[in-house]
Amino acid sequence: MLQGKAALVTGSTSGIGLGIARALAAQGCAVMLNGFGDPGEIETIRADIERQHDVQVAYNGADLSRPDEIAALVAATAEQLGSLDILVNNAGIQHTAPVADFPAAMWDKIIAIMLTGAFHAIRHALPHMQAKGWGRIVNPSSVHGLVASVHKIAYVSAKHGIMGLTKTVALEMAGHGITCNAINPGFVRTELVQAQIDDRAQKIGASAEEAARDMLSEKQPSLDFVTPEQIGALCVFLCSDAAAQITGVPIPIDGGWTAQ
Ligand code: NAD
């Protein structure tokens, strides 16, 4: 379905981004991977996706907190893959602390990577999409783009900010073949969430599995984690022709979290 297209997926060396990259590649889309990690492991992931789906897969380790590196990342994607048709602004980190104790440097870092980074990636990617009259921008926000939770001030603020950015880009690109939407996942058991599960296990003196169940029961009525594969499939749908008239909206995938 996406043969001949090229996608940049930021933060795709693990978790949700990797799930999205795999799902796009499975549809014949060339992919630029990005994110941090062990170089050997990243090369194994890259070569594995390339071999499995017979598509071009490249990697660029740009730091999404650095605007100059984002500009270079977008340029490298278009140059190495021949175009940039799909942009997935997925890179993200988490830090939890009460507002009064929240480290200011951590606020700056989270906003830089998750909100400002997406802005820069979009502004550099749009001319490539406009040249072809076709584009898809998918912003993995979060349920925390729609509702708040305690101790996540920077994350909740960045994810709410992404919703405004999504709507504005959608309006400016409406009628030009380019859509911009957000995906709003509930808990997905990735490294980012495992750290929260481990913290909770320590606090309540329980096993990681007990802490995971405790966390789900507080927020996610399905009592089950969303998977990176499910989010990848949703992203593929948003890139399809069937989704051409879906733009500027949040799409929760959250086991009922935001229905409450
Ligand atoms: P993860 O830790 O598995 O993946 C994060 C990715 O971002 C990794 O590839 C990492 O290397 C990359 N990254 C981090 N800082 C970066 C930087 N400065 N520059 C470039 N890349 C950077 O976590 P995840 O859970 O897969 O998170 C991915 C996205 O999904 C995040 O935006 C997160 O907020 C969002 N999300 C996660 C959940 C969840 O429950 N896990 C729920 C909703 C939304």
- Could you please report the per-residue DSSP string of 65-113? T-HHHHHHHHHHHHHHHS---EEE--------B-GGG--HHHHHHHHII
Residues 188-223 pLDDT 10s: 999 989 999 999 999 999 999 999 999 999 999 999
How many whole angstroms from 175 Cα to the centroid of ligand 1? Answer: 31
Whole-number pLDDT of residue 70: 98
Q: CB–CB of 178/248 below 8 Å?
A: no
> Is 84 near ligand 1, meaning CB less than 6 Å away?
no
Arithmetic mean of pLDDT, 221-233: 98
Residues 131-142 pLDDT 10s: 999 999 999 999
Q: CB–CB of 115/161 below 8 Å?
A: yes
Whole-number pLDDT of residue 38: 98
Compute the radius of gyration of the chain from its Cα atoms. 18
Residues 82-93 pLDDT 10s: 999 999 999 999
Whole-number pLDDT of residue 126: 98
Q: How far apart are CA 208 and CA 218, in angstroms?
A: 15
How many whole angstroms from 128 Cα to the centroid of ligand 1? Answer: 25
Active site residues: 155
Q: Which helix (H) or strand (E) holds 152?
A: none
Q: How far apart are CA 110 and CA 107, in angstroms?
A: 5
Tell me the pLDDT band of 156, cut-offs 50, 70 and 90.
very high
The pick from 31, 36, 109, 155 for probing ligand 1's pocket by mutation, whose C-beta has the most ligand atoms within 8 angstroms, reads 36
Residue type, 217: S
Residues 12-25 pLDDT 10s: 999 999 999 999 99
> Is 14 near ligand 1, meaning CB less than 6 Å away?
yes
Whole-number pLDDT of residue 131: 97
Phi/psi for 225 (5° steps) reads -75, 145
> Is 36 near ligand 1, meaning CB less than 6 Å away?
yes
How many whole angstroms from 94 Cα to the centroid of ligand 1? Answer: 8
Atom of ligand 1 at shortest range from CA of 65: 18
Residues 14-73 pLDDT 10s: 999 999 999 999 999 999 999 999 999 999 999 999 999 999 999 999 999 999 999 999
Whole-number pLDDT of residue 198: 95
